[in-house]
Structure 1
Amino acid sequence: MSSANVKARISFDFDLQVPPALLALEHDALLKALHAALGSTVVQGMPTVSAKQLGKSGIALVRHHYHLDAAKLGMQAIPRGLLVTAAPHLTDAELDTLAKSMAGKTPNSEDETRRLLRRKALAMVSELRTVECTVIARLSSGATAELAATLNLANGGVIVAEKDRQQRLQSNQGLVPIRVDRAGATLNATFSGQTISGPVLGVEVAEIAAHRDALITAWQSR
């Protein structure tokens, strides 16, 4: 089989009027129902017809990919607050893009919607986004120390700087303050143990979301 040297994409937008029972389905279930309704007549028939038509011009169809998507029309916009709690590491423009791409495709449950938005946001932006911070913790000696670190806005991970990684923290000390001077904010982290890479500290995504505007501004101006 010869190798392809051109990729062609043909797009059709169908505005449908579906029965209430289908309209009430969650996004994945709706796609499954539409796929079944289209059937092999469309899914398999269109490539076959296209191959025959292209062949008249000496063009061979090497392979094809089928993609079906749908969005319910007239749906309310995803609340900004929900977007922020799901993806506090995204910029304003990226949040807008996420909202537009997911409009009419979210589950009925707010918790499920938040989880879906978070998965999509992490897939959309996979780069490491960190801001410098200071960990204020009690050492195993009982003394309080300030450790240089960076906070990962995507997952809440706190990476202690190499110069302070040998510091051993006191266990069971409760929430550990994480000060981000450039954002004028202090967040709370949990300490879950010590490894050869240093203390293991993490900030909940909800905590990052509460300070999202200041943290994103600090990251953008770094």
Structure 2
Amino acid sequence: MPNGNAHLRITFDFELSIPDALNQRDERALLEAMRQILGNTVFNGMPTVTAKQLAKAGVGLAGHDCRCELERTGQAEIPADTVIAAAPHLTDEELVTVARQAAAKLPADPSQHRAHIRRVALRVANDYRLVPCTVVAEASTGGLVELGAQLNMTNGGILVDDEFKKIKLRTDQPPIRVWIEGTDIELIARLGGHTLGGPLLETDVADLVPHRAALLACWQAAIA
């Protein structure tokens, strides 16, 4: 900013009532939306009006700077760990969104909190987030088999690769081991039967929570 012989600072603080459609965004995206809404009318208009008023007294405007900041106020959020426990498939940015949205209509009964948070989370992110893995199980004909598969972080389901879809697994076997490719993560899966799409295998979403960071990294690497 060019230098004059005096520095004038004028500060306005605006308390906003933001509609839900905008308020669902994270803070950075909301600030950018505010910048676009205000646009040249404000950011160019205010210096122009100021310069004209000062000129009436013979004061010249040598330059100006602009700062636009936004801070949420009076808005409750659910702790990130609580959201992760219900929906470990969320990215960090999605966690912020879900924490805010879920807090807005949190049931009074604590026993309903997890289900409520998960419903909100699935509205925000319900895509397949697949992580390569290997399933070690007992075939219906006897003996152990290794099946290439994909763990869906979003719901804990396991989708076996095409070449293994016709393999039948023993229905009454002990918990089935699942190894996440490229890591030392071992999970346990349950067999719920068989369909044309292969064995119905599922892990408990809660079992993914301790491994969230590593699983997200695997998913992001797979889609990169």
Q: Normalising by the residue count of structure 2, what TM-score does the alignment of the two structures yield?
A: 0.63
C-alpha separation in 2, matches of 1:165 and 1:218: 23
Deviation at 1:155, TM superposition (A): 0.8
Structure 2 matches for 1:117-196, cutoff 5 A? 117-196=117-196
C-alpha separation in 2, matches of 1:201 and 1:194: 9
Deviation at 1:108, TM superposition (A): 3.4
Structure 2 matches for 1:1-222, cutoff 5 A? 13=17, 73=74, 75=76, 77-222=77-222
C-alpha separation in 2, matches of 1:74 and 1:195: 46
C-alpha separation in 1, matches of 2:104 and 2:126: 24
C-alpha separation in 2, matches of 1:179 and 1:124: 28
Larger Rg: 2
Change (3 A) 1:73 1:113: farther
Asked whether the equivalents of residues 183 and 215 of structure 1 are also in contact (C-alpha less than 8 Å), the reply is no
Q: Normalising by the residue count of structure 1, what TM-score does the alignment of the two structures yield?
A: 0.63
Structure 2 SS opposite 1:220 = helix
Count of aligned residue pairs for this structure pair: 153
Matched letter for residue 95 of structure 2:
L
RMSD: 2.1
C-alpha separation in 1, matches of 2:120 and 2:129: 17
Change (3 A) 1:99 1:74: closer
Unmatched segments (≥5 aa) in structure 2: 1-15, 19-72
Asked whether the equivalents of residues 184 and 214 of structure 1 are also in contact (C-alpha less than 8 Å), the reply is no
C-alpha separation in 2, matches of 1:96 and 1:182: 29
- Give a deviation string over 1:137-157, Cα, whole Å, max 9, x none: 011122111100101111111
Change (3 A) 1:209 1:172: same
Change (3 A) 1:74 1:158: closer
Question: Identity rate of aligned residues, in percent?
Answer: 36
Matched letter for residue 159 of structure 1:
L
